[in-house]
Structure 1
């Protein structure tokens, strides 16, 4: 399963990181928050199995470094599984922190990248959510499918961008090869993503 997911993420990284197509200077917010990778997420349901901030995270850092819309301070990129057991599925969190000049534009651009690449198709279009307790933060979610060696995997994705942090959450269940994309509960994943943001986001 991870081999398929890894291929999808390798494609998504390029779209996830800001592409720097909007030019401008000034107007950046103050840096007040950073992202961390806690040992557990979502009320201890998911346990960290791999911190890849210094490996795969380097690709995010390199892509974002060239953008005029972000002043990058760091990356938090980790793989989590229910109870630490990857056989039960994976939750992958790709996060950047620093100073984001235009969070809404950046979030929309990020979500476009989630469906790019060969053998990848967005089958449930991006939709904005404002879960209870969001405080004005928009969570955007979509569902893609990735086909590798004849196997199609359903890959839900949610993301957020605020003044200081940006995150994308990919969920891969142990039924990902049989899940109907239209049955994915994006309301639930949006609420989970908001909770992940609150658990990862720390004052500087």
Structure 2
């Protein structure tokens, strides 16, 4: 992770030229404000027991690209006050948590979108409860007004990793109602929340939310970002 930070910490968010680029910039603004707040709210829901912690075998990194190269790292926020606050929130139910927060921009100019990754690595107890806590936090965030799609556990085809996903209705920083889908994974060493927002945001209805697709992407991001220690 240290290598990727040295190249990307000061990078500006990826934007496209023309009207679509301006819209993409607004989407990035929505993500920056809301996602970390959702995660912090989630981890504040419960104080998780820190007994029986697993060995530290993996860490959470920030690859230059995720999703098989469809998203590229545009902003590393792991050294911000927001990340420090996340680390402190996690400390009650873990050992040596290190927060990781980043934004990724799609490389396609035809379908601009932003992927946000907020999480941490360390030694965590009760991964299933952590996933549920993140969903609870998403529904309680200050800019969230309703849960459009209730939390559900999804194990994508061909994977042995279960993620918990939901979608909430939020009021963006540009005063536009939108739907924010999110999926979370948690294991003994890494936990993270993944969200994706597109420039053409759909109407906030359950029919327009494809949590299965986001779950598959989340598992792929986990495979790419979760790396052995040493």
The two structures have a TM-score, normalised by structure 1, of 0.88
Shift of 1:41: 0.3
The whole-number CA distance in structure 1 between the counterparts of 2:149 and 2:136 is: 12
- In structure 2, how many angstroms separate the alpha carbons of the residues matched to 1:10 and 1:164? 19
- Note if contact 2:104-2:115 (Cα within 8 Å) is conserved in structure 1: yes
- The CA deviation string for residues 77-110 of structure 1, in whole angstroms up to 9 with x for no partner, is 110011187x812100012111111111111111
Shift in Å at residue 19 of structure 1? 4.9
2:100 to 51, 57, 76: 76
1:5 has 2:31 as partner: yes
CA RMSD of the aligned region, Å? 2.1
Query: In 2, are the aligned partners of 1:49 and 1:80 still within 8 Å (CA)?
Result: yes
Q: Which residue of 2 aligns with 1:26?
A: 51
The match for 2:176 among 147, 151, 166 is 151
Q: CA deviation at 1:14?
A: 2.1
Please identify which structure carries the higher helix content: 2
Aligned pairs (5 A) from 1:1-150: 1=26, 2-17=28-43, 19=45, 21-23=47-49, 25-55=50-80, 56-65=82-91, 67=92, 69-83=93-107, 88-120=112-144, 121-135=146-160, 137-148=161-172, 150=175
Task: Tell me the TM-score normalised to structure 2 length.
Answer: 0.79
| C-alpha displacement of 1:153 | 1.6
* TM-fit CA distance, 1:151: 1.0
Tell me the alpha carbon deviations over residues 14-54 of structure 1, each in whole angstroms, 9 at most, x when there is no partner: 2233555244x531110100010000001111000000011
Across the two proteins, how many residue pairs are aligned to each other? 199
Name stretches of at least 5 consecutive residues in structure 1 with no aligned partner: none
Give the distance between the partners of 1:186 and 1:96, measured in 2 at CA.
Answer: 23
Task: Please identify which structure carries the higher strand content.
Answer: 1
